[in-house]
Amino acid sequence: MQAARKPPKGHNQPMRLLVDACNVLHVTGILPPELAVGEPVELAQLVQRSRYGRVPVTLVCDGARPGAQTLSHDGRIALQWTGATSADEIIRRTLQESSHARKHLVVSSDRAVQATARHVGARVLPSDQFLEHLAMDARRMHRPVEPNREVHLDDAATERWLREFGLDQETDP
């Protein structure tokens, strides 16, 4: 279903998505239980499978893990931890320093973030509406959620899980 992967109508390409990730992650009651996310990496996976998956996305997260991290194979989705600076401040600076602020779609329900975005001509999408888009796109896609293949278990962890599921390592592959 190609139509679900397009950016929202009325938005000219190229668009850049700037997401106040912690603000989005604290919204409850929108995503169905099977899509519920609690971590920025899980949010990035939902975004990648949505209408926003073909545009550059930066998830800005408050937190002590400073730096940036690319979360998609094509480099379109990045996670930026803010360290001692707030996500609101990083979003504000990004918009003010951008020569193309109007090309940004800012996802946040924080009124100050929204006001800054509007002031520089960026579009705003409240967090709950963004999550509704992700849920709608996930229902349309009917694709199973990709397992996280980056998880590697050491021998001790493997043994614990085998015992937990009542499996015998010698008889079960």
Residue 20 belongs to a domain: yes
* Distance (Å, whole) CA 60 – CA 14: 20
DSSP string computed for 111-153: HHHHHHHHHTT-EEE-HHHHHHHHHHHHHHH-PPPPP-TT---
Residue 171 belongs to a domain: no
pLDDT-derived band at 13, boundaries 50, 70, 90: very low
Residue 173 belongs to a domain: no
pLDDT tens digit string along 101-129?
A: 999 999 999 999 999 999 999 999 999 99
User: Which structural domain range is residue 24 located in?
Assistant: 2-164
E strand or H helix at 25: helix 21-25
pLDDT tens digit string along 132-165?
A: 999 999 888 765 556 666 667 778 878 877 887 7
Number of domains comprising the chain = 1
Residue 170 belongs to a domain: no
Domain CATH number, residue 109: 3.40.50
